[in-house]
Structure 1
Amino acid sequence: MRLKGPNARLVSLLYLAVTVSLLAQVGLGVKQEDFKTSEQVAFYRRHRAFADGVAKESRLLGKSASTQQVASPYSVLQDSVYLDGHTLVSSIQHGADKVPLKLSVSFLDKGIVRIRGQEAHPLLPRFDDTQKLVLRDGGANLKYASADSLQLTSETVNGETVHIVSFKDANHTASLRMTERPWTVEYVLNDKPSILLNSKGLFHFEHLREKPGADGEVDGADGAWEETFRSWTDTKPRGPESFGLDISFSGYEHVYGIPEHASSLSLKSTRGGGKEAYSQPYRLYNLDVFEHDLDSPMALYGSIPFMVAHNAESTVGVFWLNAAETWVDITREKSSTLGNLFRLGTSSKEPTVSTHWISESGVMDIFLLPGPSAADMYRQYADLVEQTPLPREFALGYHQCRWNYLDQEDVLTVDDKLQEHAIPYDVIWLDIEHTDGKRYFTWDSGKFPDPVAMQQKLAYNGHQLVTVVDPHIKRDTGYRIWKEANDKGYFVKNKEGNDNFQGWCWPGDSNWVDYLNPEAASWISRQFHLDKYNGSTPNLFVWNDMNEPSVFNGPEISMDKDIKHHGGWEHRDLHNIFGMLYHKATTDGLRTRESPNKRPFVLSRAYFAGSQRYGAVWTGDNAANWEHLRASIPMVLSNNVAGMHFAGADVGGFFGNPTPELMTRWYQLGIWYPFFRAHAHIDTKRREPWVFGEPYLSHIRSAIRERYRLLPYWYTLFREASLTGMPLVRPVWMEFPQETGMFSEDSSFMVGSAIMVIPATDADTSMPIDVRLPTQENWYDIRSHAAYIGPLKRQFATDLATTLVFARGGSIIPTRERHRGSSELMRRDPITLYVYVSQTGTATGRLYLDDGETYNYQNGAFIERELSFENAKLTSRPSVRTASSPAQLEFLKAMSKVRVERIVIVGMRNPLTKAVVVENGQTRTIELSYAGHKLDSECTIRDPAVLVGNDWEVTLS
């Protein structure tokens, strides 16, 4: 808000009071007028007008031509195309403005194609640090295809020049076809056009230019040099610099990803598409949205510009690497789509999803990921932005949070109550009220007189503490954090660059550290060290909230776009990575606070591509109702589809008071979120698991215990994600890619490859639940072990004690069955293996263990076993990544007493009587016991006494 004059501070105070008052109320819903629609965004309006003009001209051309025509004004300059090693270089320009754009198409390993473009001779530099901050190693060590594997040819088709780069690898026979007039690009995979650029002619690049006269307009451009939203004016000192491009997926009907939105998993159309289509594009612009709407493309707290397309034959992806405000339109059609498709000799009509991406500033930087399988595509994406690293093991457990636990006594009472009711948990959380007047890195000494003793009491039973540390810094000359940052010049500057940017958040008058400044980021990281953060211990971890950033008196409750960051860059250029940069700084601080370093845990509300490297996220301020419970499933899945794996939603809903039934069902779903936390607003009633009494307490306790029972499986999944980039929780289609009926399914999902979850999300607990079990395979109720044969579509009756979870035939799932108070207390517990036999009598699985907190696993200090069941024999062998080293031998010694205490084999059709165990050359025989079912049988090998770190085999006879 631009406030001037002697009453400015009073108005600001009143504004803050009103804002805080509104935030303290429950059930008001989002204030739509606080946030822009696409019609209120000048650069989107200009691109939409351009697109409408192109569409109109294309229709006119089509009437006089026998083939589809595109009226794009952009063409490749003659004789500008050449292959420079692994990069195809060209120049393109608009037919009227004559400003050449340099375009590079780079061919990377695994078939990845990167397309970058900006002015050949820009008037001013464009912000291009996004690649350095997001890509693996800052993009310096990307693996490129060998120049010898690329072949450039050119041909003339229907009088137009087409340049073709052909290449081949183990998974792809591919080519990239670039047409000169108009400029279009086709990524052809296995002789089929797959990803198409500018096939609709919507590519439009607003080149940087000198500011014209006082009218502030360029060629009639709308809002090019100044734009007003409500009482805020964006001065736009650089003028128009946006760009847009249409990207079409030929042969696909479903696209996914681009979180964060409270939308369906299969993204809806935004233009056309009938009554189910949205009237607004999907927006990527990190915002603090109070009690957000559902079924909406409205921007929320995080932004990942990564979209996945899937059909029964392949999975492909597009990564739009830009941190500025971005809008994405989606349309669906059946047509030949590509204006130049006829040049490939086919006129068949394919289902096509066409998308239109528009970003406000920066460099056009796009990656095309060819798959062809989901696993291939995620390896390709991980090559770009890195995988999710192994978290601290405790972070996979249950987190107990509310705004706010009142004081030290309250925290310890909650701890005692959880133990009294035998409910395992790992973390208690403290929100902003634990601080001294919202001064982060401090404690309210009246409420928390001895935070170290409190943490030590929690740690005795393996429990941790998380405190919130938000990015806004209270303006207070007596506050060390503010004074040091101010003295060193580490705060974000105002639009003139001559003073600190000042805004309002929870402490009142605040400043924000400029994390784009490496010195400032390093300084804030050090504030998390034990010698700086008074009252902290190695058992304290951190929560970054409000880091979109949230500014109560700013436009759209955020920062003004024209304020200045390190290097003179405007906030508009890096808005969507601001939260990630703070997340990184916090994570770096926790990682380096001890020697040797230990794995950190940091939760962030704002995020971008690359945030998966720094910790967990959650879906923000949801509400305690059944609609938000249901919506959490596609929201968490969409984050996983986009590579943000360690994600969850507030169990119970942040706003409002859940009924006991809703709370129970939410726990039964929440144990299947990768990040599992209960959280509540300050004005809600207390809702810890015991509050609702019986039978709800027992149901909730049973659900939480199920999470802990499966922690070995979850930890092994994180290991897989850290190596392959595969999501932890997955759409069903990802495991069954040819099951077309599951492509839009978002009410059930897979946890890894072995478990399918069908949550109960209806207020009527007696309502039967529709279940679809795909493929010709065995499926087993994970509790009763009753067997079902897919494909199967039927209803299952449920009650409040029942959850529908099925183990996939052919899977081996490791568990720990002893009830403990925390994950730390389970670390040396024995393992139980559940073998769920496939229709062919086989099963496979994996078990991964390490110390759960250090980086010693990087030196080989882990146990990773490949488990296989075939011909009635279960074997355990080391993974190919297992290698002898001093660290590995030391870890094996530490785990030398951890054994497999039980093996349960489900689905054996021919009852056998004994098991012969072979380990270290020694043989012993164990009698089997059986539990019979109508369609299957379950045999148990009690205490085979094999060690988890040894090679062994168990043969049934």
Structure 2
Amino acid sequence: MDDFSFAIDELSARGKIINTNNSGSKHFYATDSLRIVVEGEPFRISIYNNKNELLNADENALGVSWFGNQVTCYKQLHQDEKFIGLGEKTGGINRRGNFFQHWNSDVPGYALNADPLYSTIPFFIGIHDKLTYGIFFDNTHKSYFNFGGGADEELFSFGADDGEMNYYFFGGSSVQQIIKDYTQLTGRTPMPPLWSLGFQQSRWGYDNPEQLLTIAKTFREKKMPADVIVSDINYMDNYKIFTWSNKFPSVKNMLGSMKQMGFDMVTIIDPGIKIEKGYKAYEEGLAQNHFAKYPNGKIYVGHVWPGRCHFPDFTKKSTREWWGKNFKEAYVDNGVKGFWNDMNEPAAWGREFPNLIEFGEGKDKKTLYTVKNAYGLLMAKATYEGTKSLMNGQRPFVLTRASYSGIQKYSAQWTGDNVSSDEHMLLGFRLLNSMGLSGVPYVGMDIGGFMGNPTPELFVRWMSLGIYSPLFRNHTHYGYNYREPWLFGEYNTEKIKKILEQRYQLLPYLYSTFYQAHQTGMPINRMLPINYTFDEKVYDGKFENQFLFGDNMLIA
């Protein structure tokens, strides 16, 4: 069976075996940095570094086990072992003693301990006895990680409801080296457009050009630096993607006026395509076989913002190419340079997508059970590759809610529908730090909280921390108060202006740090274990909200 991965483009980036040896049922392999012992009866793997120190070993009694289609790998747990990573996961820095699952979900207003959230990054780093290693479990089915939770504290495990036990082992001698090796395998972030690192003003509810231009003018009149206005779903004609409402009679002129004031625009694009005769995206998708289907060949219908919708089958290259071309007329030709992919877990109202929905054709056919966790990744890939080909050498900015390992090659990511509270503010930074460690450096959250009305004090505090977030975006739900930076009183307006100015003073440093991420995979926001791996204090809850911003700044 051919090895397959949604995350990895080139499977040649594996450790090269330089020595082999057999002794009875044992097989010995060596790379330049590792020694691997494989026992055949029963099948067990133990991995040592080149000093013959044990990094990781299968649990003797269980090893790799199958129960029906479910597959699980059980590993020995060292007494002092800690675990970090797994991307967008709540909880403390050290994952030990906890259970996690990966199943990309739409979770508005999620709780502080919610799991799962929107994305799947099944990569973690183990730390014990002054040693480090990493494991990437490349399986897109619903997956599980038990880091010594429950009664049995002598083992940990990871597994999935279906698919292969296909994992990559990283034996780097430091957390930094493991991150570099993991991102060499899954890809590294492209350099972002500089404008996207400035302040982004967003709201669900901006629905006419006069409103958008007034916001842009007010920023300039108040001499508050900002680079981006974000347009949520209200710009569309009845929420149909690749369209503009008749409230926007001249999009190119509006964007031209914004550009004269130094602003670029980001527009939201969801995957659901409205079922409507005469609607170009629907008619083309239908005629060209671009939609996901039931096993009997009937096209799946789900309800989202436009009503009854079909959903693109992004597993197909032809669909990804078709999707990308659709950005030309509505967006790129009008001057839009940023593209925000939302609702791509994928989400539908009333009920979840049935797992039997099929994607692909022939030998490449897969059900939603295989594709769900990768759907956001594939949508982002289609958006990035399509817009990049249309923009004449300019860098597109892509933002996604859902993702899988490898997302960093195509898109930034934000933490979804958070809440206006101090606790969510701090949780947001822990999520960003974990996502960065897990290979995704361009990350952010909705400053002020998507749901709720922050007090002026909370908003100012969140903005002051937000300048140390790679993505610096203020966004909120339409049902809550407007949140432009000058709406919190004159005293706070001056505070926020100084905060914005500080962000722009940091841009050369931030841009240089992005180049480091582009070259090495090192994140922008760095949880303390990256640099202070064996300092016990950094795993203490008292310090879990501290982090490094690039090489030279400690945020505490």
Under a length normalisation based on structure 1, what TM-score does the superposition of the two structures give? Answer: 0.56
Q: 1:399 Cα shift?
A: 0.7
Show the counterpart of 1:491. Answer: 291
Residues 681/516 of structure 1: CA separation in 2 closer, same or farther (3 Å cut):
same
Alpha-carbon separation, structure 1, partners of 2:409 and 2:437: 16
Three-state SS of the structure 1 residue aligned to 2:404 is coil
Q: 1:308 Cα shift?
A: 1.2
8 Å contact from structure 1 (residues 262, 635) kept in 2: yes
Letter in 1 for 2:554: M
Letter in 1 for 2:7: V
Alpha-carbon separation, structure 1, partners of 2:476 and 2:158: 36
Show the counterpart of 2:552. Answer: 754
* Cα deviation code 1:676-722 (max 9, x no counterpart): 11100010101111000132112222122111101111111111111
Three-state SS of the structure 2 residue aligned to 1:184 is strand
Residues 353/741 of structure 1: CA separation in 2 closer, same or farther (3 Å cut):
farther
8 Å contact from structure 1 (residues 312, 739) kept in 2: no
8 Å contact from structure 2 (residues 415, 444) kept in 1: yes
8 Å contact from structure 1 (residues 301, 548) kept in 2: yes
Alpha-carbon separation, structure 2, partners of 1:443 and 1:655: 26
Alpha-carbon separation, structure 2, partners of 1:459 and 1:200: 65
| 1:381 lines up with 2:205 in the alignment | no
**In the TM superposition, what are the counterparts of 1:519-668 in structure 2 within 5 Å?**
519-529=318-328, 532-533=329-330, 536-555=333-352, 559-567=353-361, 568-595=365-392, 597-668=393-464
8 Å contact from structure 1 (residues 717, 728) kept in 2: yes
2:95 is matched with which residue: 267, 288, 292?
A: 267
8 Å contact from structure 1 (residues 541, 590) kept in 2: no
Show the counterpart of 2:58. Answer: 197
Show the counterpart of 2:29. Answer: 165
Alpha-carbon separation, structure 1, partners of 2:57 and 2:331: 55
Three-state SS of the structure 1 residue aligned to 2:26 is strand
Residues 708/199 of structure 1: CA separation in 2 closer, same or farther (3 Å cut):
farther
Residues 404/353 of structure 1: CA separation in 2 closer, same or farther (3 Å cut):
farther
8 Å contact from structure 2 (residues 217, 261) kept in 1: no
Alpha-carbon separation, structure 1, partners of 2:319 and 2:332: 23
* Cα deviation code 1:106-162 (max 9, x no counterpart): xxxxxxxxxxxxxxxxxxx7x954x1x31133x2x32541x5x2131426xxxxx43
Question: Which structure has the larger Rg?
Answer: 1
* Cα deviation code 1:233-287 (max 9, x no counterpart): xxxxxxx4221112345364321111322222221423xxxxxxxxxx3110111
* Cα deviation code 1:49-90 (max 9, x no counterpart): xxxxxxxxxxxxxxxxxxxxxxxxxxxxxxxxxxxxxxxxxx
8 Å contact from structure 1 (residues 402, 679) kept in 2: yes
Letter in 2 for 1:723: Q
* Cα deviation code 1:506-538 (max 9, x no counterpart): 111010010111111110110012xx3268433
Three-state SS of the structure 1 residue aligned to 2:54 is strand
Three-state SS of the structure 2 residue aligned to 1:331 is coil
1:702 is matched with which residue: 494, 498, 507?
A: 498
| 1:135 lines up with 2:135 in the alignment | no
| 1:475 lines up with 2:275 in the alignment | yes
* Cα deviation code 1:307-349 (max 9, x no counterpart): 1123572332100001111111121799xx9xxxxxxxxxxxx
Letter in 2 for 1:425: A
1:284 is matched with which residue: 71, 85, 102?
A: 102
2:143 is matched with which residue: 326, 329, 333?
A: 326
* Cα deviation code 1:899-955 (max 9, x no counterpart): xxxxxxxxxxxxxxxxxxxxxxxxxxxxxxxxxxxxxxxxxxxxxxxxxxxxxxxxx
Alpha-carbon separation, structure 2, partners of 1:693 and 1:311: 51
Show the counterpart of 1:185. Answer: 45
- Root-mean-square deviation over aligned CA pairs: 2.1
**In the TM superposition, what are the counterparts of 1:106-117 in structure 2 within 5 Å?**
none
Residues 756/716 of structure 1: CA separation in 2 closer, same or farther (3 Å cut):
same
1:516 is matched with which residue: 311, 315, 325?
A: 315
Show the counterpart of 1:107. Answer: none
Show the counterpart of 1:254. Answer: 82
Show the counterpart of 1:151. Answer: 20
Alpha-carbon separation, structure 1, partners of 2:385 and 2:531: 35
Show the counterpart of 2:242. Answer: 441
Structure with bigger helix share is 2
Residues 373/249 of structure 1: CA separation in 2 closer, same or farther (3 Å cut):
farther
8 Å contact from structure 1 (residues 202, 356) kept in 2: no
Three-state SS of the structure 2 residue aligned to 1:543 is strand
Three-state SS of the structure 2 residue aligned to 1:706 is helix
Alpha-carbon separation, structure 1, partners of 2:20 and 2:78: 24
Q: 1:361 Cα shift?
A: 2.0
Alpha-carbon separation, structure 1, partners of 2:165 and 2:184: 20
8 Å contact from structure 2 (residues 30, 36) kept in 1: yes
Show the counterpart of 1:810. Answer: none
Three-state SS of the structure 2 residue aligned to 1:750 is strand
* Cα deviation code 1:535-590 (max 9, x no counterpart): 843343211000000011323xxx21111111231111121111110111011121
Letter in 2 for 1:506: W
Letter in 2 for 1:136: D
8 Å contact from structure 1 (residues 459, 539) kept in 2: no
Show the counterpart of 1:936. Answer: none
**In the TM superposition, what are the counterparts of 1:61-100 in structure 2 within 5 Å?**
none
Letter in 2 for 1:135: I
Instruction: For structure 2, list consecutive stretches of 5 or more residues without a partner in the other structure.
Output: none
| 1:507 lines up with 2:306 in the alignment | yes
Alpha-carbon separation, structure 1, partners of 2:139 and 2:331: 38
8 Å contact from structure 2 (residues 220, 261) kept in 1: no
Q: Percent identity?
A: 28
Show the counterpart of 1:59. Answer: none
| 1:400 lines up with 2:205 in the alignment | no
**In the TM superposition, what are the counterparts of 1:300-311 in structure 2 within 5 Å?**
300-311=117-128
Residues 617/200 of structure 1: CA separation in 2 closer, same or farther (3 Å cut):
farther
Alpha-carbon separation, structure 2, partners of 1:488 and 1:700: 50
1:464 is matched with which residue: 251, 264, 268?
A: 264
Alpha-carbon separation, structure 1, partners of 2:14 and 2:28: 22
Residues 368/505 of structure 1: CA separation in 2 closer, same or farther (3 Å cut):
same
Three-state SS of the structure 1 residue aligned to 2:447 is coil
Show the counterpart of 1:742. Answer: 538
Instruction: For structure 1, list consecutive stretches of 5 or more residues without a partner in the other structure.
Output: 1-124, 156-160, 207-239, 271-280, 338-351, 759-957
Alpha-carbon separation, structure 2, partners of 1:249 and 1:135: 28
8 Å contact from structure 2 (residues 340, 398) kept in 1: yes
Under a length normalisation based on structure 2, what TM-score does the superposition of the two structures give? Answer: 0.94
8 Å contact from structure 1 (residues 196, 250) kept in 2: no
Alpha-carbon separation, structure 2, partners of 1:381 and 1:576: 19
* Cα deviation code 1:390-447 (max 9, x no counterpart): 111111111110102131111011111111221111110011111000111111112x
Alpha-carbon separation, structure 2, partners of 1:300 and 1:721: 25
Residues 716/478 of structure 1: CA separation in 2 closer, same or farther (3 Å cut):
same
8 Å contact from structure 1 (residues 637, 731) kept in 2: yes
| 1:728 lines up with 2:524 in the alignment | yes
Higher relative contact order (CA 8 A, sep 6+): 2
Residues 536/653 of structure 1: CA separation in 2 closer, same or farther (3 Å cut):
farther
Residues 615/672 of structure 1: CA separation in 2 closer, same or farther (3 Å cut):
same
Alpha-carbon separation, structure 2, partners of 1:291 and 1:185: 42
Letter in 2 for 1:204: S
Alpha-carbon separation, structure 2, partners of 1:713 and 1:312: 35
Alpha-carbon separation, structure 2, partners of 1:354 and 1:705: 50
